[in-house]
Amino acid sequence: MMHKQLLLGVLLISFVHADLLIDLPDGTIRGYETTTENYTYYAYRGIPFAIPPLGNLRFQAPVPNAPWDGILDATEAKDCCISTSFSLSGPAESEDCLYINVYTPARNITEKLPVMFWIYGGGFTTGCSTDIFSGDPHPLVTEDVIVVTFNYRLGLYGFLSTNDSVILGNAGLKDQLLAMKWTQKNIEYFGGDPEKVTIFGVSAGGMSVGAHIANKKSAGLYRAAICQSGCSLTSSALTSQSDPKQVAYDVARSINSSISENSEEIRNFLQSQPADVLSNAFSANSQAGPVIEVEDDDAYITDRQFGLIESGNFNQVPLLMGTTSGESLTFYGILLPELIVAALAYDLNPQYLIPTRLNPLPGTDLTEVGELIKQAYTNQSFLLNLASFVEFTSDNLFVRSSLKQAELQSNYSPVYFYQFSFSGTLTHIHATVEGAGKIGHGEDVLYLFDIFPLTTDEELLTRSRMTRLWTNFAKTLNPTPDESDPLLNITWPQVSGSNIPYLDIDTTLEIKPGKKTNEMAMWNKVYYTYGQQPFIGF
């Protein structure tokens, strides 16, 4: 009897902590079986895909990891990538952060599953594959796909550039590229299909997806893409760092004022500094993001993305993309008074309405163009019509560039556009403005990953629908392949040029016609009349 209990105990333990060994080309890893919300799946976390980017690898393109002997323990997430001196209390951060995680259904490999490769957001300065913003991917895995998450370098560790071959820049994007290559080489050992990889990301992660789409050097590493609130034309290279060399120089000088402008000296000096000194200096000079690199064999981005997308010179994969209904609330409207002050500033200074990406032609009357832009949103003041201010600022941040990309890319590949409007109990960390959308930037991610527990039936239904649409697209390149699926009961039409029907994801799913047609007509007119070509973004 006693014996039997003991045996049962051992069996239970081995069920819960079942050893999952996989032989990868570089060595053997041990993952684990885990259960969340009654769903059991396999996880392999903290697999190195690059040599730790320390010492003279700091700021440089990642180097693929070397093979190992014995069994590598892949049962715990590794540190997040360090960025600024300020860190949300959460997972530990370090420079040694280039690790990848794979989550699969608990099953024996019979047929190869589609793979979803997640690139987190966070403005290229924060974010992590395992923090509260990415959460647990089991809601997607439940739909029988494999989910891959990983860390890429942030802040100056990922994006410092001397605008020459000394520090080319875009190390963080090159980390993403290497992680995609790792996925091609390894995912079949997890039961994944390397020919069915979809890359997806939110915000800076969406812009990263966009950067890969616009870059032939990533061709063949994925067959579909999803851009959530950010894509190729959003925060384009050149706008996140107006003068990268100056940023590098300022960071170095803020640590030692006698550093010269010589790129080698800046590199050698900054590579010799402890991480906490660098992170402090970056916090005080914080500008980081993709740059246009000088021509070099190791350069990744060397062209402006607008022209590439417009001319069809990009990876013409199917694209699912969209935005939330009130993007800008996250930036202007945490508190209503903040929003009011911002609206007033734009009322008093119409030239503020001109996007940096427009790069106006010399001699442009900025006030006049600002007024022209405003008329598409309101003929009153923004102050008296706050909803129109939310619309304008949301378009300015993420919506305009996304719609323009949908229009341009649909000339070459299928594009599906959505708006996420569902307002659950979790999504009110900002003001509500009468007549405006309610959902701020990035809030759709709460329904793809398990970040906070969902409580209401409507929230759970929204998660089921989102994960079904996203995984349908990963499986079949069509988010609604089955008209009779009772969960969706809808056919999501493709974008066709400037006609942009979209799926509104609210308490119901509904196809709506022509998103922002008037506003986009105005923006096209303004860009093509007053903007300097080639455009930086849109």
Ligand X SMILES: *[C@@H]1O[C@H](CO)[C@@H](O)[C@H](O)[C@H]1NC(C)=O
Please state, in angstroms and rounded to a whole number, the distance separating the CA atoms of residues 221 and 227. Answer: 16
Total number of residues binding ligand X (CB under 6 A)? 18
Q: Is 377 in the site for ligand X (CB under 6 A)?
A: yes
DSSP bridge pairs for 36: 39
| C-alpha separations of 174 from 238, 314, 464 in Å | 17, 18, 33
Q: Tally Cβ neighbours within 10 Å of residue 160.
A: 31
Q: Is 298 in the site for ligand X (CB under 6 A)?
A: no
Nearer to ligand X by C-beta: 223 or 245? 245
Structure tokens at 253: 């000088």
Q: Is 458 in the site for ligand X (CB under 6 A)?
A: no
Applying CB under 6 A, the span of 74-82, 103-111, 192-200, 428-436 interacting with ligand X comes to: 103-111
User: Among residues 111, 363, 375, 457, which is the contact residue for ligand X, using CB under 6 A?
Assistant: 375
Please state, in angstroms and rounded to a whole number, the distance separating the CA atoms of residues 112 and 108. Answer: 10
Q: Is 456 in the site for ligand X (CB under 6 A)?
A: no
Buried b (16+ CB within 10 A) or exposed e, 83-115: bbeeeeeebebebbbbbbbbbbbeeeeeebbbb
Please state, in angstroms and rounded to a whole number, the distance separating the CA atoms of residues 475 and 144. Answer: 9
Residue 75 DSSP label: B
| Smallest separation, CB 378 to ligand X (Å) | 5
Structure tokens at 469: 């649409």
Please state, in angstroms and rounded to a whole number, the distance separating the CA atoms of residues 511 and 402. Answer: 18
Residue 55 DSSP label: G
Residue 188 DSSP label: G
Q: Is 368 in the site for ligand X (CB under 6 A)?
A: no
x/- track of binding to ligand X for residues 131-170 (CB under 6 A)? --------------------------------x-------
Please state, in angstroms and rounded to a whole number, the distance separating the CA atoms of residues 56 and 87. Answer: 25
User: Among residues 67, 70, 274, 486, which is the contact residue for ligand X, using CB under 6 A?
Assistant: 486
Task: Name the amino acid, one letter, at 219.
Answer: A
| Smallest separation, CB 102 to ligand X (Å) | 16
| Smallest separation, CB 53 to ligand X (Å) | 23
Q: Is 243 in the site for ligand X (CB under 6 A)?
A: yes
Please state, in angstroms and rounded to a whole number, the distance separating the CA atoms of residues 324 and 157. Answer: 30
Please state, in angstroms and rounded to a whole number, the distance separating the CA atoms of residues 489 and 47. Answer: 40
Applying CB under 6 A, the span of 225-233, 251-259, 327-335, 508-516 interacting with ligand X comes to: 251-259
| Smallest separation, CB 257 to ligand X (Å) | 8
| Smallest separation, CB 382 to ligand X (Å) | 11
Applying CB under 6 A, the span of 86-94, 105-113, 330-338, 433-441 interacting with ligand X comes to: 105-113
Closest CA to 169 of 124, 127, 219, 224: 124
User: Among residues 258, 362, 363, 457, which is the contact residue for ligand X, using CB under 6 A?
Assistant: 258
Length of the chain: 538
| C-alpha separations of 470 from 198, 232, 323, 403, 465 in Å | 10, 20, 14, 19, 9
User: Among residues 18, 51, 57, 106, which is the contact residue for ligand X, using CB under 6 A?
Assistant: 106
| Smallest separation, CB 307 to ligand X (Å) | 17
Nearer to ligand X by C-beta: 107 or 216? 107
Of residues 389 through 428, those in contact with ligand X by CB under 6 A are: none
Q: Is 378 in the site for ligand X (CB under 6 A)?
A: yes
Q: Is 379 in the site for ligand X (CB under 6 A)?
A: yes
User: Among residues 14, 56, 256, 517, which is the contact residue for ligand X, using CB under 6 A?
Assistant: 256
Q: Is 259 in the site for ligand X (CB under 6 A)?
A: yes
User: Among residues 15, 71, 107, 262, which is the contact residue for ligand X, using CB under 6 A?
Assistant: 107
Residues forming contacts to ligand X in the complex (CB under 6 A) are 37-38, 106-108, 163, 243-244, 256, 258-259, 294, 375, 377-379, 486, 489
